[in-house]
Each structure stands twice: as structure tokens, then as C-alpha cells.
Chains A and B, each alone.
Chain A
Amino acid sequence: EAGVAQSPRYKIIEKRQSVAFWCNPISGHATLYWYQQILGQGPKLLIQFQNNGVVDDSQLPKDRFSAERLKGVDSTLKIQPAKLEDSAVYLCASSSGVSSYEQYFGPGTRLTVT
């Protein structure tokens, strides 16, 4: 079974630029999560999709962050414009939500904003 795929793995941009991250979850997983993990902290949920609908985006800074999950499969997370404090690892995870509560994480995208 293929795992959660994310790209790019690393990205360096200047502040005020825009950036986009891509995630392809495990096949058949209905729930997809985007987390932000700042160095020394635990993952913080940014947005959660159930199929292609948003079920929680309460911690997403909507003035600069946006996300979509077209057709209920892969997803993109965009930041525009980026700030220095957006430097973090962005993790995508998916879960089936059927037989267990495990989340399967991708390797993450490390973003550095200079």
C-alpha cells in the first residue's frame, strides 16, 4: 500500500512570496488533514477535509492560507503572501476513519521563509 505523498520536500522563499504544497493521500482515505509543525512544537491542525468538504478550518489563517481538495482525492495548501513565522514543516495526513483512528502522515514539506 502506497503511503501519503507530499511535494516538494523542501522550499525556500522570501517573505511576501507565495508557495503551494501538494498532497496525495492513501487511496480510499476519506479524511485528509494539513498540519503545521513549528520547530519544538507538536503538529497543529490547519484544515481537515472529509472527502472534498471542509469540516474544520478554525485554525487556518484565512487571510493568507487557502486549501482545496478537488474530487476528494489529492489536496493543495497555498500560502500567499508568506511571512517569516510561516517557516515550519507542513504535514499532510489521511485516515480512513472506518476501522481505526490512526492517521498516516506524509514526510512533510519543510518551508523556510527568509
Chain B
Amino acid sequence: DQQVKQNSPSLSVQEGRISILNCDYTNSMFDYFLWYKKYPAEGPTFLISISSIKDKNEDGRFTVFLNKSAKHLSLHIVPSQPGDSAVYFCAAKMATSGTYKYIFGTGTRLKVLA
């Protein structure tokens, strides 16, 4: 049961253009969403997050949009740069047993072409 889905395994974008990475979820109990970036041979690093009570969060070139009714979020990168080439994971947080846990999507490999 994949509660967090990233249906596009890969995406190629020209440098300077917009990159849009999508993520869908099924569990209404998720209350916080995070995006992580992963380079080869490194662990994931936190990029940006959004609370379920908001619909947009922006940090420099990165913006995350949340459509709660559609259970969909997206990460926009504008403008895209070659250094953004990495695997991007969407993660969702839910409270459980006095703490919280995270469910990760399968990732989208972004390639920004120079």
C-alpha cells in the first residue's frame, strides 16, 4: 500500500526553465509534507516543507504547493540549474503512538540540461 506516490520516475528540463515535481498521497492523517534532495552516494537533504494548513510555501527558487482536496503537492524550481540535478523525494508526516513517522515516495530523478 503506497500511501505516497511519485508517478514520474524521471524528468528532464532545460536550464533556466521551470521544473515541476509532483507527489500524490492517500492518507488524510498526514499533517506535514517535506521534500528532500538526494545526490548519488549521499543521504537525502531537506529542501522545503509545508504544513497541511497551508497551500503554499516559498524559499528562494523553491516553492511547494499543496492541494489538500486533491491530496496532491508539487515542488516548483524556478529557474532550474544544473546543480539541481538529483533525485527528489516527497515525504509525508503523520502522528502515531505519541510520536510521528514519515512515509516517503519512490523519488523523481531530475536532470537539468545545460
Footprint of B on A, CB under 8 Å? 4, 31, 33, 35, 40-45, 48, 50, 55-56, 91, 93, 97, 100-108
CA distance A93 to B101 in the complex (A): 12
**Is B96 part of the binding interface, using a Cβ–Cβ cutoff of 8 Å?**
yes
A101 to B32, Cβ gap below 8 A?
A: yes
Q: Which of A56, A100, A104 contacts B96 (CB 8 A)?
A: A56
Q: A41-B106, A42-B107, A43-B104 are in contact. Are A105 and B96 (CB under 8 A)?
A: no
**Is B60 part of the binding interface, using a Cβ–Cβ cutoff of 8 Å?**
no
CA distance A35 to B100 in the complex (A): 15
CA distance A47 to B97 in the complex (A): 14
Q: How large is the interface on B (under 10, 10 to 19, 20 to 34, 35 or more residues)?
A: 20 to 34
Tell which of B4, B101, B103 has the most Cβ of chain A within 10 Å: B101
CA distance A81 to B99 in the complex (A): 31
B46 to A102, Cβ gap below 8 A?
A: yes
Q: Which of A40, A45, A91, A101 contacts B106 (CB 8 A)?
A: A40
A42 to B101, Cβ gap below 8 A?
A: no
Taking CB as reference atom, which chain A residue is nearest B6?
Answer: A42
B99 to A31, Cβ gap below 8 A?
A: yes
Q: Which residues of A contact B102 (CB under 8 A)?
A: 33, 45, 103
Q: A91-B43, A101-B32 are in contact. Are A55 and B104 (CB under 8 A)?
A: no
B99 to A56, Cβ gap below 8 A?
A: yes
Taking CB as reference atom, which chain B residue is nearest A49?
Answer: B99
A48 to B99, Cβ gap below 8 A?
A: yes
Tell which of A31, A42, A55 has the most Cβ of chain B within 10 Å: A42
**Is B89 part of the binding interface, using a Cβ–Cβ cutoff of 8 Å?**
yes
CA distance A35 to B96 in the complex (A): 17
A104 to B99, Cβ gap below 8 A?
A: no
Taking CB as reference atom, which chain A residue is nearest B31?
Answer: A101
Q: Which residues of A contact B22 (CB under 8 A)?
A: none
